[in-house]
Amino acid sequence: MLLLRPLFFTAGVCVSDQIQTPDWVHDAIFYQIFPDRFAKSTPVEKPHNLEAWDAPPTNFGFKGGDLLGVVEHLDYLSDLGINALYFNPIFQSASNHRYHTHDYFQVDPLLGGNAAFKTLLDAAHARGIRVILDGVFNHASRGFYQFNHALENGAASPYRDWFNFHGFPVRAYDAHPNYDAWWNIAALPKFNHKNPQVREFLFRVAEHWVRAGIDGWRLDVPGEIDDDEFWRAFRRRVKNANPDAYIVGEIWQRGDRWLRGDQFDAVMNYPFTRACLSFFIDDISRDLLQEQSYGAVTPMSGEEFARTLTDLLTWYPRAITHAQLNLLDSHDTARFITIARGDPTALELALLTMFCYVGAPTIYYGDEIALEGRRDPDCRRAMIWEPSTRGRAMIVYVKRLTALRKKYAALRRGALTMLYANSKEIAFARHQPGAPTVIVALNAGREPVTLDLRVDRLVENGARLIEEWSREEIVVQDGFARGIALQAREGRVWTTR
């Protein structure tokens, strides 16, 4: 029997009455969809020269996924346990990822246009599924009307102040454009956010789609708009349209600046991603890491992982912490399973942790079938609708986790207490007054272990703990839950009744 030293730490108990985030996010299980790669429908007319669905993705090729294809798979998503969708950009664009926006008020015709989006929104909401969209408000594209007007008319264009031009004529196809552009990429001209007309235009875009029924915005590279008052005004306009709208920013590091209750509700929790990569993957593919974005990924002990998980919960007020968008990978990173060199146990342990951690879990489309993918564009492969044996097993596992999170309020709304940490094992509890306590034990090592967990601060002597899936029972004695057996690379969940 291996007795781990107790590490008691309770997080998520700091409450600020001034900060409010949408209540529904506590219960959300997000699924991220890259529209061109999820599913093709028959009704949406397709042009010729699409890439083959099962061909390796390329930087510029289109595969023909569309929004009615998503509608046709909403029952699949509901059955998986999903109740919130996060879409990469859907507006008219000349790029497959659609971060080069041409028209912010028109859904791309290749995706089915505005009519298809309304069909999707209505069908999703009818199933209790929320929908948030990717908002690209830092930059537009060369095909954006106001930019194109300046390109054609130069200094005579009334839109010349919508962007920061450094002389005319506009050099939009040179290696070094003469205007401010995101990462100096000519195809992505950066808005002049000091221009009141630009600000009003972007705020109207945000309002329009919220009033049309979307449930929030994921903000692309919001840190590039170095103007807190812009985001304060953005929040006021969005929340006036729908106080329950969710605003989450793509921030890769700590996001205090935006999380004081007057800008964003949350950020994408890439520090959590980095911690899971560091602890659960034995043989990591270092060439696939996005370390320039989410920071150095170095091997962690259980003690370091536990400390990181608890530290993350001290960064922000409780309302913000519980609204964080937790994720293991995305369209901007290699897939977790591929970084782990195909080790399904690494993905399973990380998924279990994410579903039992504070904040909203997010599945990047295909993670539920262990879809592989190296760095962009390979991480944007087409969805496989006839998965392998490994993929089918992962679907079963993910369904267990979504059901688990829905079953226990403590996982969605409770505090977290770290119980134990050792070199390869950790255990933590989620608890809430009046609700069953949930204890999660994880063994990232390659040998079986047996743990004795000190739980006297959470569970009374004589109480029974029941393992969620095997139904094995343990009676708490002298403040300990003794004899919790974990196989190599295994996570288990115990609950009170």
Query: What residues are annotated to the active site?
Result: 220, 250
CA–CA dist 307, 205 (Å, integer): 41
> Which residues fall within 8 angstroms of residue 328, CB to CB, at 6 or more apart?
273, 276, 336, 347, 350, 351, 354, 362, 364, 367
How far, CA to CA in Å, does 323 sit from each of 26, 131, 139, 361? 6, 15, 27, 10
> How is 216-238 classified by DSSP, letter by letter?
EEEESSGGGS--HHHHHHHHHHH
Cis bond before residue 377 (omega within 30° of 0):
yes
User: Residue 25 is encoded by which pair of tokens?
Assistant: 């996010």
CB 68 within 8 A of CB 111: no
β-bridge mates for residue 9, sequence order: 418
Nearest partner of 30 among 333, 308, 280, 354, judged by Cα? 354
CA–CA dist 48, 52 (Å, integer): 11
Cα–Cα–Cα angle for 364, 369, 370, nearest 5°? 75
49 conformational bin, left if phi > 0, alpha if psi -120 to 50, beta if neither: left
Q: Are strands 449-454 and 325-326 parallel, antiparallel or unpaired?
A: unpaired
CA–CA dist 383, 395 (Å, integer): 14
